[in-house]
Structure 1
Amino acid sequence: MSTGTHLPRDTSQGAGRDSGRGIAVTAPVEALDIEQVTISSTSHRRHASSSSPPEAEPEAGFLKSEPSPINFNANIEAKYVNTRPTLLPPNVPSKNPPADLHAPSRIKNPLVGIPRQTLLRDVDEFCRAKGLKEHRALFRKGALIAQDPTGYEDITGDEAPTPAEVDALRNEVLHKWRVPRMLLLTIATCSIGAAVQGWDQTGSNGANLQLPRALGIGSDSTADQLRVGLVNAGPYIGTALVGCWLSDPVNYFLGRRGCIFLAANFCLWPVLASAFCRTWQQLVVCRLLMGVGMGAKASTVPIYAAEIAPAPIRGALLVSWQLWTAFGIFIGTCANLVGDRVGRDAWRYQLGAAFIPAVPLAVLIYMCPESPRWYMKKNRYPDAFRSMLLLRKDPVQAARDLYYIHAQLQAEHLFIGSTHYVKRFIELFTIPRVRRATLAASTTMLAQQMCGINIIAFYSSSVFEHAGASSFQALLATWGFGLINFLFAFPSIWTIDTFGRRSLLLFTFPQMSWTLLTAGLCTLISGNRGAHLGVVALFVYLFAAFYSPGCGPVPYAYSSEIFSRGHREMGMAFAVATCLFWAAVLSITLPLMLRSLGVMGVFGFYSGLNVVALIMIFLWVPETKQRTLEEIDYIFAVPTRVFMRYQVTRTLPWWFRRYLMRDKSAILEPLFQLELEDHHAADGAFDNDKARVELKEMVGFTKGIDPRNGEVSSETSDIVH
């Protein structure tokens, strides 16, 4: 695959916003109209080759196989790879044969290929323009490390890292969990925010056993069943209709911390008020207000965690959202058990107790540093650097990350320019790269509701009661569900960055389907009620055990990282609104479904939806493990039809040969590959250095793929997918 051609800066659009840097895309186009992409930042315009005049528009009907560069400055959609074939007149032979149908899509570090002196001059200008002149030497060093993340020990001259800096760079791979205390405090605070979410969801679960009768909506009439559903759905309606959409403007004006603080207050006062409600209408209002806080918090906390976390552990840190949501659910089930002993007002304690974790969240959030990316969005680079210093072990790591983010986001700012709330929402569906992320995020969020977990999380007490349990037995079985859900979330801390987001989903959805179906079938068993309930609970617990490391943590972690900076708040808001809108639909409809279909019918219905969700994920959700937020931008540059065709024509046949036919020689060529500086000649020494080997694998520099051209090496078939 050809590399990008240097282009001169186009001064007709966005002048003055990109420090003179142009962007080029080369897209070999095959006879089957599959677009493969290499995206790169070109060197400074003073080093760009002289541009030739544009070719005349060729006649349609014939494909030109040689890639041609597209100037992003002149074509906003080119950034998001909405490329079209370049055509040749009839009978004009192409210079190159058609590209391989499934050649890897190569993710280009924007600093690769820039001459050292040019890069250092760019850094000097960056420091001068952004008020960081006193840190010029540090940023020069950091930029060279960012340009070649595996070759930091080969840097010479004044910019060579010191032994202490080399140790810090090695340790972020060898000992990736040695992170600053401030980062740990921030993640702990985000975890408390997740616990608020879980406890808020669980309070109504236990209250459902008494609340309908206490508020006069306990009959079997359709109207009362819908009222019970509305009370349970209140937080999710508030989230989907208001809370998520408030997160974008609140984040813009108040920052990540301000939005979380505001959300914490909405999760505190309305929750307390719900314990004093006298009518179901009052309770619905309180729960709608609580939903506003839940939506703003759920849309912001994962983004905040994603933006502050180093790439090697970002996935594991994002898992803390689900892990501590599960912890909140577990604590909520404990509170429900304790509250059940109070008597007829137990439901008030069960609903009101959920205010407790919102208090430390509101207190701690302003003790944490603001997101450096948010400061950069506001052009407050000195503040961004101060935040980054608190979040990284060594200043050179902070300088490296800040400059690398700047290099990636510089182009994005040029392409998108100034925008507003409504335009950002429309662009979720009109800009190809953002539209692909919207599809993937919505798929994972919708799949979380399709799997049926919230049948148990919202209504497990009622479900177990329908299955023949007493009130206390139902609460006890629900407590067991909360414990399993929490304990089995822990493996995802390690697996999400090892096996990947997509792989976890593809593995766990089939398991959830059969366990849920089996749990439903077990409700048909006649005989001893205790044994009957025990078997149903067993398969519900197995269902939760498969959910917790897969569909539990992945949707929020995945959605928070895949949108570009300009659309991150809006994209996450849409994803969370999608998830919780369908949670509201589930909450409203489940009482009626239980009455008409029974537990068996409901479990069977959601078991089938698990299979549908599995197919959707397979076709529409790319892998993003161990990529920086900026590199993910390029993964979603690949058109959806290319990704789908790769899965159907390459992944499925490979899986069939490898696992059904037991053919260990089967090779699956990866679709995505990150381009790095060429270390091919030094592979022997490189492979003996554990830190650099792990970093090499982390960023996609895998054996079997030639780093110079992205082709499969004939020397080995050990391709890492």
Structure 2
Amino acid sequence: MSASPVRMDDLPLTRFHWRIAGLTFGAHLTDGYVLGVIGYAIIPLQTQMNLTTWQEGLIGGSALFGLFLGSLILGWISDHIGRQRIFTFSFLLITIASFLQFFVTSAEQLIFLRVLIGFGLGGDYSVGHTLLAEFSPKRYRGMLLGAFSVVWTLGYVLASVAGHHWINSEPDAWRWLLASASLPALAITLLRMGTPESPRWLMRQGRIAEAHAVVRRFLGANVLPGDEISGITTRRISTLFSPRYWRRTAFNSLFFICLVVPWFVIYTWLPTIAQTIGLEDALTASLLLNALLIVGALLGLVLTWALSRRQFLISSFLLLALVLTALAFTPASNGPLILLLFVLFSTAISAASNLVGILPAESFPTDIRSLGVGFAIAMSRLGAAIATGFLPVALLSWGMRYTLLALVAVLVVGLIVSILWAPETKNLSLVEAADLPPKPQGKGNEHSVGV
């Protein structure tokens, strides 16, 4: 007797799920490393290339600007041609551009290559989150998507270890540091070849037989692709602002921006900030604080499993705003308290960052999932790029206190947006999550707060 049919959403975790997760996790490890090393490389570059303040800002924010372009453009293309091609192309681009950083001779060349790296990362963010979400069983989807933050953080911390170890070893150490990202990127590129297309995407294209073939081959003969139906939603950016989707587009973009702006501003420039606030041995201090991000990311996985999405997000914004306010008013002479507040901030923001991999992927239907995820990522990276690039000027013009208070204002906006629009998508299938009503339907139903 053949086994009873079971839907993809109801499966336990299989070896194939771990394979897809491993390919996306490995990419995020590389992503974190690529974005983390620039904070250390910028230190010797300041003198070797005689960088102006604006050039420092452009180098620090160029990959984020590339992320803006890549997540928007490659996310949109992915909804048209499928996930798999962009899944491979994005890391091929990252590999080549990372390697070429070794040979740069000017700030402009480095800025251009960092934009290309960011472009590939943007495509990987939008497609990687989407592909894993579309293969994951609903019970484990939050844990798997949230784990992106853990692995990304590990890559970022490895960048801190490499930067701390190499950066003062020789004058050209920054070249080796930046180019070293090409090695894991190449490994990920090769391993991704042969990755199957998303059955959910195939179903929505009306390619039913292909979707069933993928599921039978990789998940089992008795497994069904899911509850997708054939039919195409209009795949234009304007669709994200239609009456049905504008709230979820606004929510995902704004909460994402308000969470990553303080993250990228502080951690891209952490060695510089540590020196500014007077912490002794600034590189060591920043290394230890980065290591705490791993603890926070692991804590975030536990909280993602234990709490509702909405409760976790709102509480995180409130805590982060309070901690950064306290940090702004702590005298620079009080090093121990500053360090304690940075520890708390690092842990909390790393934990909350798990949600940026979960909520956007759960908020949009399959036809525009990569577009919606890509748009939210694009907006967040544009905001982070502008804020990161502006930080040297802000520190010079406003000082540390008012710069930190400006970041507090960003967190307060995120808190308000989350209170008004954050959905509850935990334990829902992707179709159910995307079909949440566009406005509240009454009190007492945790799934009624739609976006």
**Structures share a fold, TM > 0.5?**
yes
Tell me how far 1:491 sits from its aligned partner. 2.7
CA contact (8 A) 1:488 1:545 kept: yes
1:498 is displaced (CA, Å) by: 3.1
Tell me what 2:47 maps to: 213
Which has more radius of gyration? 1
CA apart distance, 1:497? 3.7
Is the aligned partner of 1:614 residue 2:415?
A: yes
Q: Give the C-alpha shift of residue 556 in structure 1.
A: 2.6
User: 1:351: which partner in 2?
Assistant: 178
- More RCO (CA 8 Å, sep 6+): 2
- Residue-by-residue CA offset, 1:682-720 (whole Å, 9 max, x unaligned): xxxxxxxxxxxxxxxxxxxxxxxxxxxxxxxxxxxxxxx
Worse-matched range after superposition: 361-370 or 324-333 = 361-370
Corresponding residue number in structure 1 for 2:383: 582
Correspondence for 2:246:
435
Return the alpha-carbon distance in structure 2 between the equivalents of residues 349 and 444 of structure 1.
36
SS at structure 2 position matched to 1:578: helix
Counterpart in the other structure of 1:475: 283
Name the CA distance, whole Å, in 1 between partners of 2:217 and 2:299. 28
Q: Which residue of 2 aligns with 1:337?
A: 164
Deviations 1:86-140 (A, max 9, x none): xxxxxxxxxxxxxxxxxxxxxxxxxxxxxxxxxxxxxxxxxxxxxxxxx9x87xx
1:487 aligns with 2:295: yes
Deviation at 1:383, TM superposition (A): 3.0
Which of 305, 315, 324 is the equivalent residue of 1:507?
Answer: 315
3-state SS, counterpart of residue 387 of structure 1: helix
Match 1:267 to one of 84, 91, 94:
94
Measured against aligned partners, the alpha-carbon deviations of 1:238-293 in whole angstroms (never above 9, x if no partner) come to: 2213453133224533x322212111112111112112211111111111111110
Contact 2:301 2:354 in 1 (8 A): no
Matched with 2:255 is 444
Q: Which amino acid aligns with 2:93?
A: F
CA distance in 1: counterparts of 2:227 and 2:174, whole angstroms: 49
1:305 aligns with 2:115: no
Displacement after TM superposition at 1:440 (Å) = 2.1
In the TM superposition, what are the counterparts of 1:3-402 in structure 2 within 5 Å?
142=5, 179-217=13-51, 224-250=52-78, 252-253=80-81, 255-389=82-216, 392=219, 395-396=221-222, 398-399=223-224, 402=225
| Partner Cα distance (1:382, 1:242) in 2 | 31
Stretches of 4+ aligned residues off by more than 4 angstroms: none
Return the alpha-carbon distance in structure 1 between the equivalents of residues 351 and 196 of structure 2.
29
Match 1:605 to one of 403, 406, 413: 406
Matched letter for residue 34 of structure 2 = D
- Percent identical among aligned pairs is 22
Secondary structure in 1 matching 2:43 = coil
Give the 3-state SS of the residue equivalent to 1:672 in structure 2.
coil
Partner of 1:535: 337
Q: Which runs of 5+ in 1 are unaligned?
A: 1-134, 150-168, 218-223, 527-531, 651-668, 674-721
Provide the secondary structure at the position in 2 that maps to 1:488: helix
Separation in 1, partners of 2:54, 2:168: 28
Q: How far apart in 1 are the matches of 2:397 and 2:176?
A: 31
- What's the offset of the Cα at 1:467? 1.5
Structure 2 counterpart of 1:638, from 419, 422, 438: 438
Aligned: 1:672 with 2:444:
no
**Residue from 261, 264, 275 that aligns with 1:454:** 264
**Aligned positions, number:** 447
C-alpha change, 1:503 and 1:576, in structure 2 (3 Å) is: same
User: Which amino acid letter does the alignment assign opposite residue 500 of structure 1?
Assistant: S
Amino acid at match of 2:412: V
Deviation at 1:514, TM superposition (A): 1.9
Name the residue aligned to 2:350: 548
Measure how far apart 1:500 and its partner are.
Answer: 2.2
SS in 2 for 1:490: helix
User: C-alpha deviations, 1:483-518, integer Å up to 9, x for none?
Assistant: 111122113333324312221111111211122222
Query: Relative to 1, partners in 2 of residues 1:266 and 1:525: Cα closer, same or farther, differing over 3 Å?
Result: same
Query: Residues 322 and 489 of structure 1 are in contact (CA less than 8 Å); yes or no, is this contact kept in structure 2?
Result: yes
Q: Secondary structure at the match of 2:58?
A: helix
Q: Is the 8 A contact 1:251 1:259 kept in 2?
A: no
Whether the 8 Å CA contact 1:443–1:620 is kept in 2: the answer is no
- Is contact 2:91–2:124 with CA below 8 Å preserved after alignment? yes
Q: Is 2:372 the counterpart of 1:571?
A: yes
Please state how far the C-alpha of 1:372 moved relative to its aligned partner: 1.3
User: For the Cα contact (< 8 Å) 1:198–1:327, is it kept in 2?
Assistant: yes
What's the CA shift for 1:580?
0.4
Structure 1 or 2: more helix by fraction: 2
3-state DSSP of counterpart to 1:489: helix
